[in-house]
Structure 1
């Protein structure tokens, strides 16, 4: 992966993860207690944990830490799976939810495919 592609993918994933963190903070701030009351406790706990995991993965990825690429991929893959379960098993999926699920899944695939290249630090 060329340095320009690496930088572009890194910026894309960092922006996506920061956006995800903001969305989860907003949902926690506006949904009352308990958060994600519509979801089973394990899923609500996972979505709540994303308020910390999303920004942590973004920070590590931005700082080019070796774990950042793999944490970002793990967060996006598990987020795609959790959202798929919520969208198709728990909720009545509307077109927006289906589109959002497709986007998260595509970003998860990009993160998984890019993780090995992002893990390696370029030579100085």
Structure 2
């Protein structure tokens, strides 16, 4: 995401925007790695303590996380929308898993992870209006439809 040359995908974006997108891509790539690892290590039932609908959702993140990362890296608005939905629903799903399914009291690693995901979701939702104009597939910063 460096600003090399006019033909570079991110050349017109300010450094802060480029850094934000690099961080978002890294977050979703990390999420993909975590969920793929859980599926690989867990076999046919990687989330045995979870209700089937919740296990299916967590399994779907092995596809949704890399899709969000790729769309964001390609500078598509769909990536921002998908990323916001994924992080928000992931925070909610982890809250259910850590506060409803897991009846353990106090602070647990799962609850700490859920707090991090919730903070990332909130950060993305707050940043989205400021970073969306730098994406293709909608109106550009001047309000013209880009059609890409």
TM-score (norm 1): 0.89
Alignment match of 1:116 (pick from 129, 135, 146): 129
1:37-78 per-position Cα deviation (integer Å, ceiling 9, x unaligned): 211111011001000000000100111101111111110000
TM-score by length of structure 2 reads 0.76
Q: Is 1:11 aligned with 2:22?
A: yes
Structure-1 residue corresponding to 2:52: 41
Report the CA distance between 1:80 and its aligned residue: 0.5
Equivalence for 2:111? 98
Aligned to 1:70: 81
> 1:60 corresponds to which residue?
71
Unpaired segments ≥5 residues, structure 2: 1-12, 136-140, 142-148
Distance 1:37 1:95 in 2: 18
Q: Which has the higher contact order (CA 8 A, sep 6+)?
A: 1
Name stretches of at least 5 consecutive residues in structure 1 with no aligned partner: none
Is the Cα–Cα contact under 8 Å of residues 57 and 72 in structure 1 kept in the other structure?
A: yes
Number of aligned positions between the proteins: 122
Whichever structure has more helix as a proportion of its residues is 1
